[in-house]
Amino acid sequence: MSATQPAVIVDVDPSNFETEVLQASLETPVLVDFWATWCGPCKSLGPLLEKLAGEYAGAFRLAKVDVDKNQELAAMFGIRSVPTVMLVKDGQILDGFAGALPEGALREFLGRYVQPAEPAPEAAPAAAETPEQAINRLQQAIAAEPDRAELKLELAEALMRAGQTAAAEAELEALPANLATDARAVRLRSQLELVRALEGAPSRQALEQRIAADPDDWAARELLGIRLLLEGEPAAGLEQFLTILERARDWNDGAARKRLLQAFATLDDAALVGQYRRRMASLLF
């Protein structure tokens, strides 16, 4: 950062509020975080806001206000509880929220007003981090900052990528309530349920042979669909679930619908998910 470039995160008090918030907001949106040292939710929200401020690389500034030390500023904004966050632009409050939001909701909130800065081109691409390297990095980060619950969610994801499903599940179950409903946590739970369903299951070849011998072997179709999904052939896997839904909707208490919904939660391909959601709806309604 150059000497003339303003910091993206700054502590604010009455002496610098006009400069760091009101005047600064004439050029860049300012997110004002009202927090307190005794506030539990602040300990999860604050690091997320700081992470996003760094990621957005100057697209917005984060001004942090300790309400215990700056009661005058808290009163001026009518702060009734912490954490409370206000977005200031052109000297005016545009929007805000109270309470700790998960990362996905924070990104959605910011996306209404600012976009991440374009990253500077790198001289050479960095080597991709392996799941094992990510696990080691995150475990060290958690040891240094045990209150940063979002690191534990990232660790659960890394453990899942490494195939350590039991450890991933343990980290997932230990998440605080504000992260338990995060989109990434929901995805992990769906992945874990699909992986557990394959425990002790026959091989792909054996399942295909069973279906060839009996096309109405719905148990084999369900397991084959899960295998295909987890082995990188999502469309083929979804087709197996749709076949069950079309021809035996109520089999095993509607298992095909359940598997389709789990699959949708794990897939990043919005177009593929949309296509199969429509096909599922046409069969159900």
Residue 144 near residue 166, CB atoms below 8 Å: no
Answer yes or no: 284 catalytic: no
- Choose, from 21, 24, 30, 42, the residue flagged as catalytic: 42
- Choose, from 21, 31, 32, 39, the residue flagged as catalytic: 39
Answer yes or no: 3 catalytic: no
Active site residues: 39, 42
